[in-house]
Structure 1
Amino acid sequence: MTQPTIKLDRYDRRILAALQADGGLTNQQLAEQVGLSPSPCSRRVQKLEDAGVIKGRAVLLHHKALGLDLTILVQISMDRHTPERFQHFEETVAGYEEVQWCYLITGQSADYLLKVMVPDMDRYQQFLLNKLTRIDGVSGVHSSFVMRKVVDSTALPLNYLT
């Protein structure tokens, strides 16, 4: 099991949990939530950022409010398993705004698993036919359409940290 490069105590874990729940907290609000005064809290956040534990803060947008009503999990099979093929595929899909994430996977007949978000089936068909299947090396595509998101979290589990 890989451990963080810095030792995290209970205040660090509290800071991380609070920021995962609301990345827009001011230092004052964060300090109050975790039981520290503002100066030590700020120093701890800076230490976590410097160590790479906190990569940044982001605003989470609601997909339905923006008309992105269709979420698809796409399994991609490649014709050849070469570093060049994989690199080309990964660089290409990284440029598609429809792709929310892309994982190189094992244990399936597919090589990659993508999460794709689009407004509707017509847009997915355009994305599939005009972009995804035109990438050199893609030999198979299997699409699964999400009916309901049961758990959809960006928070990482912190209970494993010592």
Structure 2
Amino acid sequence: MLDPVDRKILRVLQQDGRITNTDLCERVNLSATATAERMKRLVREGYIEHFSASLDPRKVERGLLVFVEIRLERTSPEIFDSFKHAVERAPDILECHMVAGGFDYLVKSRVKDMEAYRAFLSDVVLALPGVRETHTYAVMEEIKDTHILPV
């Protein structure tokens, strides 16, 4: 169970994963030892999955955000497994979610521009096992993009 101090640590770390232990101690009103122990426990118990840097997509030539709906030719455990393994090996696919509704998967990707998207569609998406149909949504404006979970 998370107590209020654990939750505060998680909120602070989501905002600034590079915060020093000294600054974190001050923000949560704990000693350095107590803060370090809580951090280790939060990592060990899987509350904190990993630490990473957040990059500006435009500066690394990935300014166009696209979402792609994917419908499979048929659904079976074999198709699901082969599709999943192919997606896991595709670095251009940032997220892939199996969904309930009018299609099977929702894929998120960032590419340089429409020309790069066209190549991504033909070389990556349509090459995935079992793909029957796709619908693409190119993002015109990003209103909110966050990884911060309310805890």
State the TM-score, normalizing by the size of structure 2.
Answer: 0.96
Unaligned runs of 5+ in 2: none
Paired-residue identity, %? 34
The 5 Å alignment of 1:64-83 reads 64-83=58-77
- 1:13 counterpart residue number: 7
Determine which of 133, 144, 147 is the counterpart of 2:140.
147
Select 2:112's aligned residue among 112, 119, 140. 119
Instruction: Point out where structure 1 has 5 or more consecutive residues left out of the alignment.
Output: 1-6
Measured in 1, the distance between the counterparts of 2:59 and 2:27 equals: 30
For 2:59 and 2:31, locate their aligned partners in 1 and report how far apart those are by CA, in whole Å: 38
> For this pair of structures, how many residues does the alignment match?
151
Residue of 113, 125, 140 corresponding to 1:132: 125
Partner of 2:27: 33
Which whole-Å CA distance do the structure 1 matches of 2:93 and 2:128 have between them?
Answer: 14
Residue 43 of structure 1 and its aligned partner are, at CA, apart by: 0.5
Q: What is the aligned partner in structure 2 of residue 110 from structure 1?
A: 103
**How large is the RMSD of aligned CA atoms in angstroms?**
0.9
Which aligned runs of 4 or more in structure 1 are off by greater than 3 angstroms? none
* SS class of match (2:132): strand
TM-score by structure 1 length? 0.90
Match of 2:48 among 43, 50, 54: 54
Of the structure 1 ranges 12-21 and 46-55, higher mean CA displacement relative to structure 2 is found in 46-55
1:13-69 deviation per Cα after TM superposition (whole angstroms, max 9, x unaligned): 000000000111111111111111111000111111111111111111110121211
Residue 4 (structure 1) aligns with: none
